Structure 1
Amino acid sequence: MNIKYLLSLTISLFILVVSGQQCFDQSSVTYTTSGTQLQMNGQTIRVQGIAWFGLETLTFSPGGLQTKSVEQLLDVLVAQKFNVLRLPFSVDMILKPRMPNQINYGLNPNLAGLNAFQVFEYITKACATRGILVVAEMHRFDPNDYIPGLWYSTQCIYNIDGQCINYTTDVVTNAWITVVNTLQKYWNFWAVDVKNEPHGTATWGTGNTATDWDAAFKNIANTIQSKTGFKGVYFIEGIENNAGSICSPATGNWWGGNLSPQQCFPVFLATPNKLVFTPHTYCSSVSDQPYFNDPSYPSNMPSVWDASFGFLKSSQPVVIGEWGCKNNNTKNSKWISSFVSYLKSTGMTNHIYFSLNPDSADTDSILNPDWTTINQNVAGYLNDIGTNPSIFSLSGNKVCLGPISTTSTVSSTTIGGSTTTTTGSGTTTTSTTSKPTTTTSQSTTTTGGGSTTTTSTSTTSKPTTTTTTTSQSTTTGGSSTTTTTTSTTGGGSSTTTTAGATTTGGSTTGHTSTITIQQILSSSWTDSNNKPWSVYNCFITNTGSSAIQNVKFSSVPNVAPDQSWGAYTPANVNGNWIWSAQSWALTLQPNQPTNFGYQVQSATPFTFTIVQ
């Protein structure tokens, strides 16, 4: 098929948007707290996170990498508005160079040869380009062992080399120092989750140094801080049951969920404004607690949550560190509704959901079991929480709070008809497929406000196809462009390509379809040869009313990117680089942004043209 005879949708305008947000050098980014607020360089941030498990297990591999790439899964997080990733590790994989055994290196060539901790670092770096903060979480000592109740082992544990290792407080603390010193060169390394889910014999405020988690947490966190100068925050989880129910509910406490003793034995760190309380809580799919079977359930749940951690809502920063549920019965459905309502009513909407992995045995995931499609039920109730997570954008060596985006302005071009080229920051154009007999134009330019508006109208006596492109720009300390393209075919016979949908012959009445491609500049730099490089995170969206199949587009310049990832990848077709959907993304559903991205040796993005 000859591309030049197609009605093509052309991405023709690149606009950098910096809309009044504050930007900081990556090296200067510091995370703190203030009252109940989380902050980056003194500015309040809001977080919606998710856990991705696997590295801490005997696979030494994050889940899903046999069928997906790291980049594909991180792009899911961006599309679903997660701005935090919680990654677990074992102390063993910090002490020893453990090699992953469940990664498809054909899909993940950049992970080839990396050990488990190096994979952790790679994911942290990949998150940085996408504006995702990282929480490092010490999940267990050895992958052969289960989650320990205390922060040290009470006996030696045999590792896969046959060595019996004693994980003392010093061994664990030194492992943490290695982790922090390795990762803190990345601006997005946000938090240290010192120990996952203290439970069992763990206590709080009893004076027993062998079991008091509060004292151990302070000791470990203060040591890490003094040795590394960590610029992030420290997560403190709760315990299970306190000895003799000291300042604590007697039963029904989750591992890591009971922060009630903080009311009697408050924790403070040597460096102020770096402490975040992160309780864990779940529904009956994880464990059927007594209060789930109370006659007043679920109206009794707010008092349960208040006792465990809700009392902190007006005085301390709280991030729900783990929560989730398998929505497989009425009881669990009620729990989800109640918990979402509780978070909204208390304002404790900063949270980390469990988990990204759809093969979790007792909780649901944002993904369906295919590791590809979105679990719309989960997406729905996460959206209902209303976190409104902060957006972290990169511009060169700076991190900005808010979007820095290039929005693709979509132009319509017909060979043999009128051609419209869009310039400026706002254009309204109407064109026809036959020669125009009347042309009216109006141009308005506003200086200082960053906007230019042009209106052009072309008419004929009997138009058969009308294509309208409308761009509107609103500038507040910068400029932004949103593009909508609508094509309608009236009476007569025509061939119309409308944002990737083709209708041949006959007539189409009342059909509207729109494709937009947004390109977000994730990062840019100049290499040692003074050549510019850029990384773009892209979202292609069908804002029409029906699905579109197998969208393809070409790029200008007609070259391959240095790297590409996500739903669309390029291939050389008869000398033209054509971007096509991967097998799992052939259908572009209405109003569901699909993510792809690329790295290119250039200071400007590709110009895309829809060819099918």
Structure 2
Amino acid sequence: MARIVKRGATRILAATQHTAVQGAPSANQIAAAAAAARMATSCDACRFWTAPDFCSRHGVNCGTCGFSLYCHDPATTPPPTPPAPPPATAVDLQCRHGRLYDCTGSAGAQFGDCAAEFMFKGVSWFGMEEAYAMPQGLEWAQMSHLLDFIAHNKFNALRVPLSVSSVLDDNKMPDTFGGSQPARNLLVLLDLHRLTAGDRDNPLWYDSRVSEQMLVGAWGRLAARHCDNWNVVGADLFNEPWAAAWGGNSTAEDWAAAAERIAAAVERACPRWLLFVEGVSHTTGSGAPSAGSSQTEEGHNWAANVEGARTRPLAIRAAKRVYSPHVYGPSVAPQPYFSNESFPANMPPIWHAHFGYLAGRTGCVVVGEWGGFFEGADEVWQRAFATWLSEHRIGSFYWALNPTSRDTGGLLLDDWKTPNTNKLALLRQIQGTLRAG
């Protein structure tokens, strides 16, 4: 599926910037793509092509589609139109005095050069990190419909989970396709979510099959392809290294030091990108407190613990450094404080201790994941957290668009068409920055 990986990534990035004129996918086509890579034998199946000579061998003009799911009869398909120029100057977001600002088109030397404060209101759309390496839901709805849904509900960014193995296995292919018109203006955060496609659990940012060097190599490949995409604004360095420490004496567990090394490589490849660093968990794989002896006693879920930055801040360029905890409530990971008699009034001090102390002070904070089924105590928790985010002007990415998330559900119901109106009503109180263009 390596070629579908590349086509899928390019298709998402292109569609966040443009609207392509295409038909509707069939459920059978996409289900087959998710099941296995196979050689196509007809024009109708050209989206399954896996060999570089497919188009010429079958006389199919796949180039006119970009990563379209559908190709037309080559005898009636016009030649590809030249790629349209980028619709905007590459977006340059910077952290200044603990807040993100839009510095696009400015010299950036002085604080006053930047435009107004920028706040993320994003959503994750997963599937590319799986073995089938396709955004989920395309057997149910057109990508244009799903992206229109995201934009219509005032989200300004899309977080795209990927896997190291799929990025490294993918072959170089064209990055720009024509035949589209500007629209949507969604920003994109790339997220190396898994080491090997389809993995369910990565305790650290490396394992016996995928080294740190390979992870760095994957970021180099992504930067080479997408640094020039005007709306790709950041790199989420690695997802939820839950067995790691923030500092400490064990090089094998020290996520803070590893994040600095990875961030340095990404910045060399694309100095414009924001560098998102997730937190750690409550204890390391060896059982020690993840953030050292000064860590608070309240339990930390995966990636929620950024307490170590109090005494061990990251040596990453401050203008591009973003601390990005993941924060979940009772439907995802139970903690004793969810049963406290004062719940949810007891939560703000806990959020502040875990990561909130950084926001607006010594660093920029964007919550990389939060969400849940929005029922019972989880609904109470989400309402309290949404209010807290708004009050503290902290941006976030909601998990997830997908209704298939097993412990959260999504912004869409199971048919991938019906909105989850309760969640969307909650999220209306969070005001993301909508860019013109």
TM-score, scaled relative to structure 2: 0.72
The equivalent residue for 2:80 is none
Query: What displacement does 1:126 show?
Result: 8.7
The equivalent residue for 1:199 is 242
Report SS of the residue matched to 2:365: coil
The equivalent residue for 2:136 is 63
Report SS of the residue matched to 2:100: strand
Residues in 2 aligned to 1:76 and 1:126: alpha-carbon distance in whole angstroms: 19
Tell me if 1:51 matches 2:96.
no
The equivalent residue for 1:425 is none
The equivalent residue for 1:282 is 328
Report SS of the residue matched to 1:139: strand
Q: 1:32 aligns with which of 94, 114, 125?
A: 94
Is 2:120–2:396's contact at 8 Å kept on the other side of the alignment? yes
Residue type of the alignment partner of 2:102: M
Higher deviation after alignment, 273-282 or 228-237: 228-237
Query: What displacement does 1:145 show?
Result: 2.2
Tell me if 1:298 matches 2:298.
no
Residue type of the alignment partner of 2:425: G
Residue type of the alignment partner of 2:407: D
The equivalent residue for 1:187 is 230
Identity fraction in percent:
31
Across the aligned residues of Structure 1 and Structure 2, the Cα RMSD in angstroms comes to 2.4
Rate the CA distance shift 1:311–1:126 in 2: closer, same or farther, 3 A.
Answer: farther
The equivalent residue for 1:575 is none
Superposed, which structure 2 residues align to 1:138-157 within 5 Å?
138-153=192-207, 155=208
Runs of 4+ more than 3 Å apart: 24-29, 125-129
Is 2:119–2:393's contact at 8 Å kept on the other side of the alignment? no
Residues in 2 aligned to 1:60 and 1:34: alpha-carbon distance in whole angstroms: 36
Residues in 2 aligned to 1:35 and 1:127: alpha-carbon distance in whole angstroms: 37
The equivalent residue for 1:267 is 314
Residue type of the alignment partner of 2:327: T
Tell me if 1:80 matches 2:150.
no
Residues in 2 aligned to 1:300 and 1:391: alpha-carbon distance in whole angstroms: 33
Q: 2:401 aligns with which of 356, 370, 373?
A: 356
Deviations 1:584-606 (A, max 9, x none): xxxxxxxxxxxxxxxxxxxxxxx
Deviations 1:275-334 (A, max 9, x none): 0111101111111111112222222111211111111123121111100011222x1121
Residue type of the alignment partner of 2:415: D
The equivalent residue for 2:270 is 229
The equivalent residue for 2:11 is none
Instruction: Tell me the matched-pair count.
Output: 333
Residues in 1 aligned to 2:181 and 2:202: alpha-carbon distance in whole angstroms: 29
Is 1:147–1:196's contact at 8 Å kept on the other side of the alignment? no
Query: What displacement does 1:129 show?
Result: 3.9
Is 1:30–1:40's contact at 8 Å kept on the other side of the alignment? yes
Deviations 1:246-270 (A, max 9, x none): 332345211111001111111121x
Rate the CA distance shift 1:351–1:28 in 2: closer, same or farther, 3 A.
Answer: closer
The equivalent residue for 1:384 is 429
Residues in 1 aligned to 2:337 and 2:322: alpha-carbon distance in whole angstroms: 27
Is 2:90–2:228's contact at 8 Å kept on the other side of the alignment? no
Deviations 1:430-460 (A, max 9, x none): xxxxxxxxxxxxxxxxxxxxxxxxxxxxxxx
Is 2:99–2:359's contact at 8 Å kept on the other side of the alignment? no
Q: 1:238 aligns with which of 271, 279, 284?
A: 279
Deviations 1:214-265 (A, max 9, x none): 1100011102212x13311000110002534533234521111100111111
Query: What displacement does 1:40 show?
Result: 2.4
Is 1:52–1:85's contact at 8 Å kept on the other side of the alignment? yes
Residues in 2 aligned to 1:209 and 1:127: alpha-carbon distance in whole angstroms: 49
TM-score, scaled relative to structure 1: 0.52
> What runs of 5+ residues in structure 1 fail to find an aligned partner?
1-23, 98-114, 156-165, 395-612
The equivalent residue for 2:372 is 325
Query: What displacement does 1:128 show?
Result: 7.5
Superposed, which structure 2 residues align to 1:474-553 within 5 Å?
none
Is 2:140–2:415's contact at 8 Å kept on the other side of the alignment? no
The equivalent residue for 1:220 is 262
Residue type of the alignment partner of 1:173: V
Deviations 1:480-530 (A, max 9, x none): xxxxxxxxxxxxxxxxxxxxxxxxxxxxxxxxxxxxxxxxxxxxxxxxxxx
Q: 2:250 aligns with which of 208, 211, 214?
A: 208
Deviations 1:181-224 (A, max 9, x none): 10112110111000001112x00121322111111000111022
Residues in 2 aligned to 1:365 and 1:71: alpha-carbon distance in whole angstroms: 18
The equivalent residue for 2:303 is 256
Deviations 1:352-390 (A, max 9, x none): 1000001211113222222112211111110123x2x22
Superposed, which structure 2 residues align to 1:124-163 within 5 Å?
129-153=183-207, 155=208
Residues in 1 aligned to 2:201 and 2:224: alpha-carbon distance in whole angstroms: 25
Residues in 1 aligned to 2:180 and 2:344: alpha-carbon distance in whole angstroms: 41
Rate the CA distance shift 1:122–1:249 in 2: closer, same or farther, 3 A.
Answer: farther
Report SS of the residue matched to 2:166: helix
Is 2:87–2:182's contact at 8 Å kept on the other side of the alignment? no
Report SS of the residue matched to 1:198: coil
Residue type of the alignment partner of 1:167: V
Residues in 2 aligned to 1:172 and 1:78: alpha-carbon distance in whole angstroms: 31
Residues in 2 aligned to 1:252 and 1:127: alpha-carbon distance in whole angstroms: 48
Residues in 1 aligned to 2:122 and 2:231: alpha-carbon distance in whole angstroms: 13
Q: 2:221 aligns with which of 162, 169, 178?
A: 178
The equivalent residue for 1:603 is none
Residue type of the alignment partner of 2:211: T
Report SS of the residue matched to 1:71: helix
> What runs of 5+ residues in structure 2 fail to find an aligned partner?
1-85, 104-113
Residues in 2 aligned to 1:321 and 1:229: alpha-carbon distance in whole angstroms: 21
Is 1:204–1:213's contact at 8 Å kept on the other side of the alignment? yes
Is 2:95–2:101's contact at 8 Å kept on the other side of the alignment? yes
Is 2:187–2:232's contact at 8 Å kept on the other side of the alignment? yes
Report SS of the residue matched to 2:405: coil
Is 1:128–1:188's contact at 8 Å kept on the other side of the alignment? no
The equivalent residue for 2:69 is none
Is 1:78–1:130's contact at 8 Å kept on the other side of the alignment? yes
Rate the CA distance shift 1:392–1:95 in 2: closer, same or farther, 3 A.
Answer: same
Structure with greater Cα Rg:
1
Of Structure 1 and Structure 2, the greater helix share is in 2
Residue type of the alignment partner of 1:89: L
The equivalent residue for 1:93 is 166
Rate the CA distance shift 1:126–1:374 in 2: closer, same or farther, 3 A.
Answer: farther
Report SS of the residue matched to 1:392: coil
Is 1:246–1:261's contact at 8 Å kept on the other side of the alignment? no
Residues in 2 aligned to 1:91 and 1:144: alpha-carbon distance in whole angstroms: 11
Residue type of the alignment partner of 1:133: L
Report SS of the residue matched to 2:159: strand
